[in-house]
Structure 1
Amino acid sequence: MSATLTPGIRVGNMLWASGQLGTSPTDTTIAGQTTRSLENTEKVFKAAGTTLAAAATKCTVFLTDVKDFQGMNSAYTKFFPSNPPARSTVVVAALVVPNAKVEIECQGVIP
């Protein structure tokens, strides 16, 4: 069964990107999964005509292990070299895909 969701919804100049996983059969590191999660989110923002760095106003990060915070943060920072969006980070018991370590959702205002 596939998920019932839309990768992103635009209403006026507001954009909500659904949570993106970054799982890979070859890279199970938190940095790799964070990078892929944000690359997937970037695709949603680009489809709406903008970028994460230009438009993201709030991101929520779901981690399955608090010990992964530093690795996630290191990869996350590369996507927002200046003026990062507001962010919440929540530790959860599990994500919907086995071996997923991180899921990231972002909202933004399209300039």
Structure 2
Amino acid sequence: MKHFALMALLAPAALGACVNIQDHGRPAPKAFPMPPPEKMVLVPGNQLYSAAVGHGDTIYLAGVIGRSETGDVKEATRQAMDAVKGNLEKAGRTMDDLLKCTVFMTDIEQYGPMNEVYADYFPANPPARTAVAVSALPFGALVEVECIAAR
């Protein structure tokens, strides 16, 4: 216990000696410079997020949810994938431009039925994909899909 207390007292001094806090008059670098607005692709969402934002050679699509009053994961998947397709079209792209998708599911046991519907959207050359089980999604959704597309 004594060693822990001693380390707690000495750590800030030791770390301070290792960190150069002088900026030499230079501004701090920007981690991710944003392109000028005229070069961005932006699909409006709501006051909390954009449905799609383009940067460089990629377009990042916000997650879209799929719900079903009857608990039908196929219906929910179709709803989410139609929303992905619609947001891509608003950004001037198609499903063929998708590079990577992530599917979030509240019931991973429904992976097979979800896959059946998902496959309908990619007759050839599907994007890379990850499927993840989650405990819950907003608004009681069964599925949420987020994607990255080529610009």
Deviation above 6 Å: which 4+ runs of structure 1?
A: none
1:47-77 Cα deviation digits (max 9, x unpaired) = 111111x200000000001111001000000
| Mean Cα deviation higher: 40-49 or 10-19 | 10-19
Judging by fraction of residues, say which structure has more strand. Answer: 1
Match of 1:63 in 2: 105
Alignment match of 1:79 (pick from 112, 121, 139):
121
One-letter identity of the residue aligned with 1:69: Y
Structure 1 residue 4: Cα displacement: 1.2
**Structure 1: how far apart are the matches of 2:47 and 2:73?**
23
Q: Is the 8 A contact 2:68 2:142 kept in 1?
A: no
Match of 2:36 in 1: none
Q: Percent identity?
A: 32
Match of 1:33 in 2: 76
1:79-105 Cα deviation digits (max 9, x unpaired) = 01100000000000000112x110000
Structure 1 residues without counterparts, runs of 5 or longer: none
Aligned-residue CA RMSD (Å): 1.5
Judging by fraction of residues, say which structure has more helix. Answer: 2
Distance verdict in 2 for CA 1:72–1:3, change over 3 Å? farther
Structure 1 residues 41-60: aligned runs within 5 Å? 41-52=84-95, 54-60=96-102
Structure 2 residues without counterparts, runs of 5 or longer: 1-45
**Structure 1: how far apart are the matches of 2:128 and 2:73?**
21
Aligned length: 106
Say which one has the larger Rg. 2
